[in-house]
């Protein structure tokens, strides 16, 4: 049965840039499961599946609804144990939580400081005022002031990625010889940046760039073949 | 058979403060193996076991010599598979490498900016000039200038520990329900700071403080019952 996956979209419904949704998209591809993407603007999220979730990704798999990319990965491993695993035991699942928090507190924060206005420009018209209000409440200033005062450089992103780069000198993926959910966790914010701000803000060479390129090409290039900002 | 573990020591041979040696000490305790610590000043390291290593910890287990706390943990899991595991599968081993790099590039760097002169003062007299020369070559200035210009505050340490704290809200250990080698990796630099600079520089409350206290008390309190700086 085809799994339905609700993903955030921009004004262009093919512009599915959410980092969290990418974690789930690659999880589904990793497990070789059929899926159908339902592009969803921010302001439509409360309406989907009878108000089942405040955030996407949300998947419907038969009767089951699961949100949150980590919970979805845990669900997929439990529901499809014969398919390639996203986690390899309880400790790898526990350590993935650390990698999620590290990514969120470092990469996502910097990505926002690079891409906030680019995201804003890519939004569905229906989302524009919701996004401005919710983000400006969070940052305590206008988005324009935030970017004038707090903008991050690609060099800051590169510095934040240093522990990943050091790790990828010893092994091809965060998960070891093959990618695991932890790899998709970190892929998410980089693909987000690539789609909304363009490849120019990402590391151009070195272990992280090579790892990212490998992930873009996996699963028939579902990561590679998307609209990319200039 | 008792495993011999060579550890760095200060002027007081009971002052075994090396973060890397703590990773190994807790690994041995985790596996319930008998061990005997051989306190070793920096400048004696090239002389032990016929020049087998440039760094400690080094263990001798019968005929086998193994250095580097990660390699030692991998060795112990392979050699003693019936004892509690330090890793839980290949992915957890691979992700532990990331946690090592994160700890090294964040916690160890800050620990050095807090504790450099405290370490210096704790050294064996034979190590004093070696330590000053090697560290000043690395930092490109005198240790005193480094501490005058680059000293870190306990608040910086606390901020660097944020991804760990967020993770420990969801689970008692980095490794999940029980500690794994990844926990000892992060315990190392905190115990180092506790021994050379004192508990005042560590987080006083919250999930990281509680987790650290649990680890100090494990294995009959081998972490707790050590000389602690005032």
Residue among B94, B105, B158, B160 with most chain A CBs within 10 A, to mutate: B94
Residue A230 has pLDDT above 90, yes or no: no
Nearest to A167 among B89, B97, B173 (CB): B97
Nearest to A176 among B90, B171, B174 (CB): B90
State mean pLDDT over A184-206: 98
Cβ contact A95–B182 (<8 Å): yes
Q: What is the pLDDT of residues A173-193, one digit of tens each?
A: 999 999 999 999 999 999 999
Sheet holding A58-61, edge to edge: A35-40, A3-8, A58-61, A64-67
Q: Is A49 left (phi over 0), alpha (psi -120 to 50) or beta?
A: left
Q: What pLDDT is attached to residue A64? A: 98
Nearest residue of chain B to residue A168 (CA atoms): B98
Cβ contact B90–A164 (<8 Å): no
Cβ contact B166–A91 (<8 Å): no
Q: What pLDDT is attached to residue B45? A: 97
- Residues of chain B positioned with their CB less than 8 A from the CB of A89: 88-89, 91-92
- Residues of chain A positioned with their CB less than 8 A from the CB of B73: none
For B107-157, give the DSSP string. IIHHHHHHHHHHHHHHS-GGGHHHHHHHHHHHHTS-HHHHHHHHPPPHHHH
Cβ contact B95–A95 (<8 Å): yes
Q: What pLDDT is attached to residue A158? A: 98
Please name every residue paired with B171 in a beta bridge, in sequence order, or none if there are none. Answer: none
Cβ contact A94–B163 (<8 Å): no
Q: Which positions in chain B have a beta carbon within 8 angstroms of at least one beta carbon in chain A?
A: 87-99, 101-102, 104-106, 162-164, 166-167, 170-171, 173-177, 180, 182
Strand bridging mode A3-8 / B58-61: unpaired
pTM, two decimals, is: 0.97
Cβ contact B91–A166 (<8 Å): no
Residues of chain B with pLDDT below 70 are none
Residue B55, phi then psi, degrees to nearest 5: -135, 155
CA distance A208 to A158: 9
Q: b/e per residue, B50-60, with b = 16+ CB within 10 A?
A: eeebeebbbbb
CA distance B93 to B89: 7
Q: What pLDDT is attached to residue A228? A: 96
Q: What pLDDT is attached to residue A1? A: 83
* Percent of the residues in chain A that have a pLDDT greater than 70, as a whole number: 100
Nearest to A99 among B95, B105, B171 (CB): B95
Q: What pLDDT is attached to residue B1? A: 83
Q: Which positions in chain A have a beta carbon within 8 angstroms of at least one beta carbon in chain B?
A: 87-99, 101-102, 104-106, 162-164, 166-167, 170-171, 173-177, 180, 182
Nearest residue of chain B to residue A173 (CA atoms): B94
Q: What is the pLDDT of residues A131-154, one digit of tens each?
A: 999 999 999 999 999 999 999 999
Cβ contact B173–A93 (<8 Å): no
- Residues of chain A positioned with their CB less than 8 A from the CB of B96: 95
Q: Is A123 left (phi over 0), alpha (psi -120 to 50) or beta?
A: beta
Question: Of A146, A144, A160, nearest to A193 (Cα)?
Answer: A160
For A146-206, give the DSSP string. HHHHHPPPHHHHHHHTHHHHHHHTTSSBTTBSS--HHHHHHHHHHHHHHHHT-GGGS--SS
Nearest to A92 among B91, B101, B167 (CB): B91
Q: What pLDDT is attached to residue A8? A: 97
ipTM of the complex: 0.97
Q: What is the pLDDT of residues A42-56, one digit of tens each?
A: 999 999 999 999 999
Q: What pLDDT is attached to residue A97? A: 98
- Residues of chain A positioned with their CB less than 8 A from the CB of B180: 91, 94-95
Helix/strand/coil percent split, chain A, to 5:
60, 10, 30
Q: What is the pLDDT of residues A69-95, one digit of tens each?
A: 999 999 999 999 999 999 999 999 999
- Residues of chain B positioned with their CB less than 8 A from the CB of A175: 91, 94-95
Cβ contact A163–B98 (<8 Å): yes
Q: What pLDDT is attached to residue B230? A: 87
- E strand residue ranges, A62-99: 64-67
Q: What is the pLDDT of residues A17-51, one digit of tens each?
A: 999 999 999 999 999 999 999 999 999 999 999 99
């Amino acid at each position: 049965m085809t799994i339905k996956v609700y993903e955030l979209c921009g004004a262009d419904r093919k512009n599915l840039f959410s980092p969290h949704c990418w974690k789930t998209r690659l999880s589904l591809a990793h497990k070789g499961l059929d899926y159908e993407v339902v592009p969803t603007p921010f302001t439509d999220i409360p309406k989907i599946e009878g108000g089942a979730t405040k955030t996407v990704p949300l998947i419907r798999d038969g009767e089951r609804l699961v949100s949150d990319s980590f919970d979805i990965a845990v669900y997929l491993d439990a529901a499809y144990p014969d398919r390639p695993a996203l986690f390899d035991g309880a400790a790898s699942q526990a350590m993935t939580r650390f990698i999620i928090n590290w990514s969120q507190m470092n990469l996502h924060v910097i990505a926002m400081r690079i891409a906030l206005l680019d995201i804003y420009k890519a939004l569905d018209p229906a989302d524009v005022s919701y996004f401005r209000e919710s983000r400006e409440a969070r940052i305590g200033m206008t988005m324009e002031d935030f970017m004038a005062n707090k903008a991050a450089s690609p060099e800051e992103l590169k510095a934040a990625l240093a522990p990943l780069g050091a790790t990828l000198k010893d092994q091809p993926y965060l998960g070891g010889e093959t990618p695991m959910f932890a790899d998709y966790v970190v892929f998410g914010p980089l693909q987000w940046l690539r789609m909304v701000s363009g490849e120019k803000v990402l590391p151009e060479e070195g272990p992280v760039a090579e790892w990212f390129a490998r992930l873009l090409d996996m699963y028939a290039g579902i990561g590679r073949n998307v609209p990319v900002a200039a």
